[in-house]
Structure 1
Amino acid sequence: MTVTKILHVDTLNQNKRLFNILLLVIIGAYVYLQVYHFLAIPDPLLFPDSARYLKTTTVFSDALLPEHGVTPPVVPLIYKLLGEDINVIAFSQLVLSILSWVFLSYAVSRTMKSVWISLIAFIAILTFSLSSAISLWNGVILSESLSLSIFACFIGSWILMFEKQSLKRSLLLITASVLFALSRTAHVYLLLMLGCILGVAGLFNLRAVKRKYCLAFSVIYIVMSLLSNVSANVGTQWTVYFVDVLSTRILPDPEKREYFEKHGMPVDENLMKLEGKFAQEGNWAFHNDPNLEEFRKWLYSSGKSTYVRFLLTHPHFLITGPFEDFLQMMYGYRLIYYAPKGYSSPLGALFDYMDSPLIFPIYIFAAGILAGMNLIFAGSGKSTVSLVPIIMMLLVYPLMALVWHADSHELERHVLTFSVQARLSYILLGLFTINALFSTSSQN
């Protein structure tokens, strides 16, 4: 009996009970590892930013104050519904993480031609979710855990949509998309890019997803992005991120500083004293120092528009600037400092060795091969769902670049979703390649 026949779905149908037992064992082992390592954490970890999400009055009270701007409401709302006990919140984050990654595993496994390959897909996705880049956040009272869980549901919903388009799946995807957009500000960048891609796909009537769905989601995503941009301009919250960039990238560079000075930014010794300092330092000196009143007038009236013009007139910096921190953003060297006391990765050092930046060139080479193969499979109709990880991978650098230009503080945390996106796209490319090759061999 050939390997293809052993793996064939008909053979599996004869062993459906065995398959279900194995699936339950896999999920049971996964839940055990998650809960066991979570219980080793004595207390959830709080950070200054945690106060933005833990609301003791109404969920929108502080989040929507005009002087602060709009905080994405999903995480504060969920925290409000869960109550004020941070242990309850942390455990709920764990439960939602488990459910979300099991859902994504289910969505991926449905696309496999063999249920044995489905089991491999389940194991691969669940194992990936045990890595420290994902699991450490369950015990941290910040937006990362819930954001990554919603991200997993968002990708899973798109995979189901590629498998079969229907009204029910469209509603599921819309729900996941709204939650995704309202969980972190940076997520809207992904929806905007996807909206443009779907619009092009709809206009050219590409067959991976029906034209009406492409155009509908294109409009939805672009409208959501525009609304998010309007809300981002409410209040002065954007100035916090801008002065971080200004102090760390503009002021230290005479050429860049001269451009801003020529466009109206007052530059004096009081401003230069803050070179290299973040917005909150010096008792929020950028915003509170009386000697910087003229600077603030320029900041509120012309700061954002001047910075946008600077980026558009300096395309080399716009495109290549983020390269200097790309490995830092991709591998998150400092993310382990966010881990709560008692945390240890369920995978031990295994994933750290596999995910080392020392072998990053090998991953780039392999990703190129896998992406090329999946593009062929998608074009031939053998695996249209392969377009999902291809698009995910192609958008990683543009998304990280946008975040890099928008802020210079805690970069690893702010691009976390997109670094996870890069790794997940690599895994999905591998799984869909195996599936397409199996499908081809079984037909022969």
Structure 2
Amino acid sequence: MKGVNVSGLLTLSIPLFAILTRYYSSKHKHKQLSEEEEEVIASSSWAELDRNLLREIVSRLCVADEARFGAVCTHWLAAARSISTKSSSLPWHGCNYPGSSEFRIYDPLSSPTHLASRHLIDWSQLGIPSSTDGVSLHLVKHNWVFLSVSKPRLFFWTRRYIFLFSPFTKRIITLPTFDYPNGFYFVSTFSTRPDSPDCVYCCVDADRDDKIAVLTYRNGDKQWTARQFNMHPDFKPWNSIPHILDGILYILSPYGQVASYNILNGEFIFDRLLHDEFVVHNSAKRIVHSFVLNGELLIIGFNPDVRKDATLPGKQFVRRYHRSFKVWLPVRTLGDYALFFSPKFINVSLVNTKDVRTCNGLLSNKVYRFFSGGCLVYSLQDGELVQFKCINSTFLGDGGNDLPEYKYNYSTPATNLAYWLEAPPVRSSTNNK
């Protein structure tokens, strides 16, 4: 095919060829062609397809296929570039099945299965032995997934292989390995985009009664820097995800206690040892997530029983940590943001509703809590979450606020390695005259 990159064409998804088949069937339905004529059409028309048809094809492609589309030929690349971007849409979600190297991402605006792409990671290409204990998914941030793979070593030691994976670009960043004694349980975080030269990575083991271990790595370092600190007897160990704000690593306990580690000078402090009354109440069954919004550290707490005592004071809450006064304060409002939460997911998703144009009535200052029976929507009032609306398990699309885009959120196979992703830009056609 003259002027056509065949390798790029052949890697496009099957739906593309279904569109082209329907196009040619309609165009030549009144004319019976010989085999020679069909071969001529097939060999000469790929690079000369109608520009409007190409725009329609691009609008239906997932992120990975869109990149391949533009690599086919210059005519297809021009059509892809004629599709401009507008503001972001509903959050996507991804999952990795335990013990598997397969990663899937789902687009709520596509149909019918919402599966946008899947990717298999070849451990051998990353220098990781095939006989491992499976994949540990630590954190998802800036659309990068922080992963590790463990390999048993001699004398009760374990080697951990650390890498980051971008589900949209398929890019992988590998970090140095480190060995540690068996029995350590690490949670991890990083400061900014992993492809940034000033990104700092941290692994923390705060789930022990006697010690807290902190490992740090900066882009450009040859190895991890490890330090241990004595555990305070009043600090409750926990495996919560830590957070980095202004060069300080914050470690939380399930009772609202806070410890901090200065990444620059290595100083470790137990900032807050008092138990927060809102967090302590029924804490054994509390579902608590921490996250960062507008440079502030926040926690959100839920009663695991979504139907019982859903609106009683103290049962559901959002608090922010005042770093100067070292206290948790009620969050009055999320502003223009809506928060997506699910106990199945390792992170929360914050969506700026002013940037959304295709979400069927997503409301600001609301918390959307997904569970196996559907979705509960909460309003935030003086730090308390009050039930606003219940969306049933059918996710009926008749109403403007029913979020039918997430109908398949819980029809996918169960996994404990699920996460929210920031949606890529939504495409819209632009006619170039």
Task: Confirm or deny a common fold (TM above 0.5).
Answer: no
**Higher relative contact order by CA 8 Å / sep ≥ 6: 1 or 2?**
1
Higher strand share: 2
TM-score for the superposition, normalised by structure 1:
0.25
Larger radius of gyration: 2
Higher helix share: 1
Instruction: Provide TM-score, normalisation by structure 2.
Output: 0.26
